[in-house]
Amino acid sequence: MKWLEKMNKSINYIEENLTSEVDYEKVARLSCCSVYHFQRMFSYIVDVPLSEYIRRRRLTLAAFELQNSDIKVIDLALKFGYESPDSFSRAFKNLHGVTPTLARDMGIQLKAYPRLSFHISIKGDVEMNYRVVEREGFDVFGKSITIGLNENPYEIIPKFWQDFQEDGTYQKICEKAGIEPYNGILLNAALYDFDNDGTYRNKYMIYTSVPQGKEIPEDFDTIRIPSAKWAVFSDTYDSPEDTSNLIQKLWKRIFSEWFPTSEYELEKGPQLEVYTEKDNKVEVWIPIKKR
C-alpha cells in the first residue's frame, strides 16, 4: 500500500543516515506530511518518539562496532554524532547499562533495538466509529499554548486544562460565549499552526465558537477553522475525568489503524477535539483529502 511504502522509505532514509545528520524535513517529505505530523504518527504507532528511535538505533550499531572492531571510543562518538566521548559514554551507559569500554568484553549483556519496518497488523476485534462530513468554516476563541518538539504533550495538556479551570479562564470564556459553566469543563480543543515557523512546534487551544455580534477581549486567542472535508471519530466516556486517556487512545488508533488502511490522507488545517455533555461523547475531527 502507498502509505506503507512512504513510511518505509522514511525509515530507509533514517537508517542510511544514522552516522550523519538525519534531516527531519526530508523524513517528512518522503512520507508526504509535515515534520510535526510525521513525528506524531510515528510516536502513536511505535510508542516511542522519533528522536528516541534514532538514538536507540545509533547506540545499537555502536555496540555492534565496539564488539567487532578496534575503533577508538572517541572516533565512535564522532561517527554517531556525539560532541565528546563523555556524552557518548553517558548515552551508551544509559541504554546498555555498561560503559563503551566494558562493552568490548566477551559475555557482557547489551541491548539491541532492531531496524523498524511498517506492516499492516490484522486486528479487527474493536470497531472504530467514524463518519466523513463537509463543514463550512467558523471562528473560535479561547486560550492556547505552544508545545515544542521535545516536550511531552501528555503532561503539558492535562496541566493546561487544570490551570484553565483554576485560574478563572474557563468561567470568563463561558461568560463571553453566553454558555452555562459546567464543572466537567466540556469545551473543545484545537491543534493548529503545525511547523508554522520551522521550529516543529504546534499550538493547542481550548476554545468555543465566537458568538454572533459579540466582541472577543484582546487577551483571548482567535482562529478561523476553514471549510473542509472531515473524518470524525467518536467514542464515549463514563465521566469527564476519563477523557484524557480516552482521547489519547482514540488518536493512536486513528493513526495506527484508520489512516494506513483508508483512502484518505491528512489535509492541512486545525485538528479538533470536541466534547459533548449530552451523550458523554468525545470526537476527533481531522481534515482529510483523497490520496
Indicate the average pLDDT of the chain.
86
Domains contained in the chain, number: 2
Q: Are residues 69 and 204 in the same domain?
A: no
Instruction: List the Cα angle 170/251/224 in 5-degree steps.
Output: 50
42-88 confidence digits (pLDDT tens): 887 888 888 899 999 999 999 999 999 999 999 999 999 999 999 99
**CA atoms of 115 and 49, how far apart (whole Å):** 15
**CA atoms of 263 and 285, how far apart (whole Å):** 17
In this structure, what CATH number is given to the domain that contains residue 59?
A: 1.10.10.60
Q: Are residues 98 and 168 in the same domain?
A: no
Q: Are residues 75 and 205 in the same domain?
A: no
Q: Are residues 92 and 134 in the same domain?
A: no
Q: Are residues 77 and 163 in the same domain?
A: no
Residue 115 lies in a domain: no
pLDDT score recorded for residue 214: 75
**CA atoms of 164 and 157, how far apart (whole Å):** 10
Residue 77 lies in a domain: yes
Q: Are residues 134 and 218 in the same domain?
A: yes
* pTM for the predicted model, two decimal places: 0.77
Q: Are residues 134 and 275 in the same domain?
A: yes
pLDDT score recorded for residue 23: 93
Q: List, in sequence order, every beta strand (DSSP E) within 79-213.
A: 129-135, 138-147, 188-192, 202-209
- Domain around 282: 130-290
HSE of 97, CA atoms in CB hemisphere, 13 A: 5
In terms of pLDDT, which residue wins out, 155 or 277?
A: 155
Residue 54 lies in a domain: yes
Residue 110 lies in a domain: no
CA max distance for the chain: 76
Residue 117 lies in a domain: no
79-117 confidence digits (pLDDT tens): 999 999 999 999 999 999 999 999 999 889 999 999 988
10-21 confidence digits (pLDDT tens): 999 999 999 999
Q: Are residues 82 and 141 in the same domain?
A: no
In this structure, what CATH number is given to the domain that contains residue 166?
A: 3.20.80.10
Q: Are residues 139 and 255 in the same domain?
A: yes
Q: Are residues 218 and 264 in the same domain?
A: yes
Residue 167 lies in a domain: yes
Most confident of 176-180, 204-208, 239-243: 204-208
**CA atoms of 230 and 134, how far apart (whole Å):** 6
